[in-house]
A and B are shown apart, each in its own frame.
Chain A
Amino acid sequence: MNNIKEIKNEILNEKYYEIDHSSGLKIFVYPKENYSSCYAIFGTKYGSTDNCFKAGKNGEYITVPEGIAHFLEHKLFESEERGAFERYSETGASANAYTSFDKTCYLFSCTGNFSASLEILLDFVTSPYFTPETVSKEQGIIGQEIKMTNDEPSWASLFTLLKAMYKTHPVSIDIAGTVQSISEITADLLYECYNAFYNLNNMALAVAGNVTVEEVLAVADKILKPSEEKQIERKFENEPKEVVSRYAEKHLDVSRPLFAIGYKEDVGNTRRTLKQTLESEIMLDIIAGKTSALYEKMMESGLVNTTFYSEYFEGLGYGAHIFSGESENPEEVRRRIDEEILRLQSEGIDRREFERIKKKHYGKFIMGFDDVDAVANFLINDYFNGDASFDGLAVLESITVEDINRRLNEAIDVNNSSMSVIKAE
């Protein structure tokens, strides 16, 4: 029996359906009127940081090679007979997949043959087929993917920073692993990870666009078999509050130095709430957003250029406010950001500035609901994070300038930051 709940939002004048499918899978269906296309995403709460885990009551913790979640994502597209891409080529759907720090998702978009494409998606993700030969073939392909990302300065900058900030947390490990670590992956290890995390109770399906609940359930009922709930325990060693080092650098052939400055937040073994995340985003705009005095001064004095930006980076067991860009003098950028944070911590935030930026985030939130791919991704991300997708609007509305002042003092310590610099030799 499938349990269906309708969730509405009056401001957006939109609704979606949340379904507890009899197989154990959580399903979201977000119909969009007058749209031709559909976007479906089927994901598991399993990413690159899940390197040490225990599945089932009596199991023992196992440690697996770095990059295995991403490797598994590549391999699921193959099967004993016809691979997923070959099957999709008959429906015309455009398919893809991605692995992040905490999830692996398989997706497609289409305008026709939706049910046939959804059947392929649900079927191939629930039908693993790994052999030593196919594993070996993939090592060559992923080896090239790793080498490609190793040449990307912004990627190198982020991971150099994460290694400088995190001592034990696996967020500092490259999502695809290394050429060495993926050489240790075997078909048996892939099955072990698959059986632990690709349990329908640990997964979700989100579909948005020209679609009905009935169409989705007809396929889900046909393909999905009930899955026994499995307890998954992830093990992370205790991460120290302090950063590993204040500075780290790496050499690549770049035109000018790239920097990333991260202020490490002590989050213990939890993840931040939706409210804290939104507060951080508003706070970053106030510190160094495009309308801030700091941004203007740094741009005008030639210290940074148009590549400068900030982001709040967070997940289970990690959180950091990060400022990145290009500069001939990254140390000076760091000094100015520190100075501005200290000033705001002591003087407090301007209320009018806060109201303007809050209004901006209100608009950005509204605009996020036009694209079917953005909507389906929100649904699955928010579910895995323990949030509901329309909640952001009410949470944003509830945030006050006092909340931002409090968060600024609690979440950022200028003495606990790292900086990575990527520069030519």
Chain B
Amino acid sequence: MSNVKYNETADGIRLLCVNTGKFKTNFISIDLFAPIGEDLPAQYVLCSLLAHTSRDYPTFKSFNSKVEGLYGASFDSGIGSYGDNVRLSFCLELPDDRFALYKDTPSEEAVDFLINILLNPLCKNGRFDEEAAKREIRFTLEDLEAKKNDKRAYALSRLKQLMCEGEKYGVDSEWLENGVRDVTSERLFEAYKNLLSTAQIAVTACGTLSQDMLCEKITAFANNIENRKPVKLTSEFVTGAGEIRYFSESMKMMNQAKLVIGFRSGMENDTDSYYAYRIMTDVFGGGPYSRLFTNVREKLSLCYYCGARLIRQKGIIFVQSGIEKKNYNKALDEILNQLAVMKNGEFTDEELESSKKALADAYCGVEDSPMGVCTYYASQCFADEIISGEEEAQAFSAVTREDVIKCAQKTAADSVYLLSGEENDE
């Protein structure tokens, strides 16, 4: 296991540093987490704006030239949900300083650049640059509207919204798009100030970056934020489901129908029997050894993909498949039937072992890429105890058949969603 160190540099700011010389790359990410609320549309715009310009690099050309000048660094940003919270991520990956051609220290420069993106954005007198704000609103809107181009992802987001209506997690896409349209440069600045002041912040670094240097810079970063009052993150876990709710929508010109089913797992928080739920979800619809792959795809030839995924921060399981619309009932019945198989313990010991082996094997390898290391450890940024991939692998291996059956028995289908082409209507 790598040398993993972490410390709270300030209230609500955790620095996690994995020192290793085995990579040719240094990777650093800053993640900001805040409860989903009224600021969400502005936060979407903000994420785009902060990733394109800053006070020191006010144009695309100057900003991107700075990034590329760090020996071809890859800069990435993103926004998404983390349970009932929003997560904004900014990360940089660049070659280790030992490959620098001019005795420069690009990695330290990269850390400063990333911090400055957050601390010194393109704004003055309490508002963001008007033109920049307008442009970023356009990018954000176009990006949100383009989500319907990817039918698989779109179907999943529609189910999330319908199933989790009333929960922060079930963000209404129309509300979000309208909110983005209404964002002003002042409103953006207000949201920016709120975010820096209230967010839980995780800084994760992997490579040869010195922890002392990082600690010093992150502490200075924290001291530069005005009125810092980090808000504790929570997520609502809905256990149990009533009658299954069915939803159906159509789109023009769509060849394949998308079926998505949302299940409430019964998890009461993100650590509640997590390893057992993860194994249960995997036996049900994980790898090619799973019940869904071997039955819905291989035996019945109903689809190319059919898989299940556990959302740990909400205790929800999503099953997704692409099917012929005429096979809707057949596919749905078989998916629900396979969950019944899980509840009745009618899966084999081999299936259980396959799943445990596959997950244990995958977790033992999480430290073999800089991004893998940062992604893995950033997901634990609020955990009381940091555990390695190998320790997680052992936890998966310890799950028993009884644990899995218990989890399956608590799992209940909540909502079923079908997206299909208008021309395929029968």
Contact = CB atoms under 8 A, between A and B. Distances in A.
A27 B70 CA distance: 35
Interface string A69-111: 0000000000000000110111111110000000000000111
Contacts of A370: 23-25, 369-370
A362 interface: yes
Nearest to B152: A148
B71 A362 contact: yes
A296 interface: yes
Given A111-B365, A144-B303, A363 B61 contact: no
Contacts of A356: 65, 68-69
A293 interface: yes
B189 to A, nearest CB: 21
A256 interface: yes
Interface string A335-371: 0000000000000000000001101111110110111
Contacts of B253: 251-253, 424-425
Given A151-B254, A253-B254, A371-B369, A363 B94 contact: yes
B364 A305 contact: no
A251 B423 CA distance: 14
Interface in A110-126: 110-113
Nearest to B289: A89
Given A89-B289, A256-B146, A371-B369, A151 B151 contact: yes
A425 B253 CA distance: 9
B143 interface: yes
Contact of B358 (A12, A35, A89, A256): A89
Contacts of A91: 357, 361
A361 B72 contact: yes
Interface in B107-135: 135
Interface string B53-95: 0000001110011001111111000000000000000000111
Contacts of B301: 137-138, 140-141
B403 interface: no
B151 A209 contact: no
Given A35-B368, A253-B253, A370-B23, A363 B71 contact: yes
B145 interface: yes
Contacts of B360: 92
B94 A367 contact: yes
Contacts of A394: none
Contacts of B304: 141-142, 144-145, 148
Contacts of A95: 288
Contacts of B70: 363
Nearest to A255: B145
A307 interface: yes
A253 B251 contact: yes
B368 A305 contact: no
A305 B254 contact: no
A370 B288 CA distance: 28
Contacts of B138: 302, 305
Interface in A322-338: 326
A70 to B, nearest CB: 12
Contacts of B69: 356, 359-360
Contacts of B298: 137, 141
Contacts of A362: 71-72, 101
B367 interface: yes
Given A95-B288, A296-B59, A359 B64 contact: no
B60 A295 contact: yes
Contact of A372 (B20, B65, B148, B368): B368
B137 to A, nearest CB: 11
B244 to A, nearest CB: 25
A109 B287 CA distance: 13
Contact of A140 (B74, B142, B302): B302
Contacts of A255: 142, 145-146, 148-149
B375 interface: no
A58 interface: no
Contact of B24 (A33, A140, A295, A366): A366
Contacts of A359: 69, 71-72, 101
Contacts of B142: 255-256, 305, 326
Contacts of A15: none
Contacts of B25: 366-367, 370
Interface in A377-412: none
B263 to A, nearest CB: 23
B72 A89 contact: no
Interface in A253-287: 253-256, 258
Interface in B377-424: none
Contacts of B95: 363, 366-367
Contacts of A363: 70-73, 94-95, 99
Interface string A221-249: 00000000000000000000000000000
B216 interface: no
A88 B143 CA distance: 39
B77 to A, nearest CB: 10
Interface of A: 11-12, 32-37, 85-86, 88-95, 109-113, 137-138, 140-142, 144-145, 147-148, 150-153, 209, 251-256, 258, 290-293, 295-296, 299-300, 302, 305-307, 326, 356-357, 359-364, 366-367, 369-372, 424-425
Interface of B: 20, 22-25, 48, 59-61, 64-65, 68-74, 93-95, 99, 101, 135, 138-139, 142-143, 145-146, 148-152, 251-256, 287-289, 297-298, 301-305, 322-324, 350, 353-354, 357-358, 360-362, 364-365, 367-370
Given A85-B289, A367-B24, 5 more contacts: A94-B361, A148-B256, A253-B251, A367-B95, A370-B369
Pick the 4 closest A-B CB pairs, nearest first.
A363-B72, A363-B71, A140-B301, A92-B357
